Amino acid sequence: MATTRPTRSAQEVWQRLLEGNMRFVQGLFKGRDLLDLRRSLTRGQSPMAAVLCCSDSRVPAEIIFDQSLGDLFVVRTAGLVLEPAGVGSLEYAVAHLHVPLLVIKGHEGCGAVTAAVQHPDLEEGHITAVVREIAPAAAQARARGLAGPELVEAATETHLMRLQAKLSQESAIIREALAAGRLHLVVSKYYLSNGQVEVLDRTW
Ligand SMILES: [Zn+2]
């Protein structure tokens, strides 16, 4: 797979993503010639960012940030639960595709987080693995005395911040790229209600 080094900084990439999100919110999608774009990408990819987001059908990163083929390297799992293959996929984007930015994008009203809040001991096939991974964040949020939707949203935000820490702890490739300034990270949350992506934390 052919790759090229990034020509944009993480800050520039994030600015482009925010501008795309604003177009999405306003319904002003950028016109693109997908046929032409597909042809131009046959020899390789050089995405501008890696995104970790939920499998929820309402939250596809490319649409929410109004991006297209070749723009984003996306890892999606229910509740953004990270297993070795997911971490490895993000490492590939950092080490081989040289993305300058990694975006963790959770969302409002997440079903996986709701399940972890309501049924932390759920036993149902491999869904158990999803719930167990989010359960500590749910317990942390519950300890703050929250309930209902407030509890789910607080658990989501705690889970997203834990993911940021987990990525650095578990991946030497990501940790070293962050330390060297080759990579920046944004923790963000998408709101189903208004279409906006808001920053919870970032490394600059
Ligand atoms: Zn979700």
Instruction: For residue range 156-184, list pLDDT tens digits in order.
Output: 999 999 999 999 999 999 999 999 999 99
* pTM of the entire predicted model: 0.95
User: Which band of pLDDT confidence, cut at 50, 70 and 90, is reported for residue 3?
Assistant: very low
CB neighbourhood size of 189 (10 A): 19
So what's the pLDDT on residue 7? 75
Q: Which pLDDT tens digit goes with each residue over 5-56? A: 457 899 999 999 999 999 999 999 999 999 999 999 999 999 999 999 999 9
CA of 155 to the centre of ligand 1 (A): 12
Q: Residue 4: is its pLDDT beyond 60?
A: no
CA of 105 to the centre of ligand 1 (A): 10
CA of 113 to the centre of ligand 1 (A): 7
Q: By C-alpha distance, which of 24, 137, 130, 46 is closest to 81? A: 130
CA of 44 to the centre of ligand 1 (A): 30
Distance of alpha carbon 154 from alpha carbon 36, whole angstroms: 43
CA of 62 to the centre of ligand 1 (A): 16
Average pLDDT over residues 66-78: 98
CA of 180 to the centre of ligand 1 (A): 32
Instruction: Kindly list the protein residues that place their beta carbon closer than 5 angstroms to ligand 1, a single-atom ion.
Output: 54, 56, 110
- Check residue 31 and report its DSSP letter: P
Q: Residue 86: is its pLDDT beyond 90?
A: yes
So what's the pLDDT on residue 188? 98
CA of 138 to the centre of ligand 1 (A): 14
Q: Output the CA angle 153-94-113, nearest 5 degrees.
A: 15
Backbone φ/ψ region at 2: left (φ over 0), alpha (ψ -120 to 50), beta:
beta
Q: Residue 144: is its pLDDT beyond 50?
A: yes
Evaluate whether 112 touches 135 at the Cβ level (below 8 Å): no
* 165: its two tokens: 């820490």
CA of 179 to the centre of ligand 1 (A): 29
Evaluate whether 156 touches 135 at the Cβ level (below 8 Å): no
Average pLDDT over residues 47-71: 98
The mean predicted confidence, pLDDT, of the chain is 95
Distance of alpha carbon 11 from alpha carbon 202, whole angstroms: 10
So what's the pLDDT on residue 97? 97
CA of 79 to the centre of ligand 1 (A): 5
Percent of the chain with pLDDT over 70: 97
- The CATH number for 10-202, chosen from 3.40.1050.10, 3.50.40.10, 3.40.50.300, 3.40.718.10, is 3.40.1050.10
CA of 77 to the centre of ligand 1 (A): 8
The three-state secondary structure class of 3 is coil
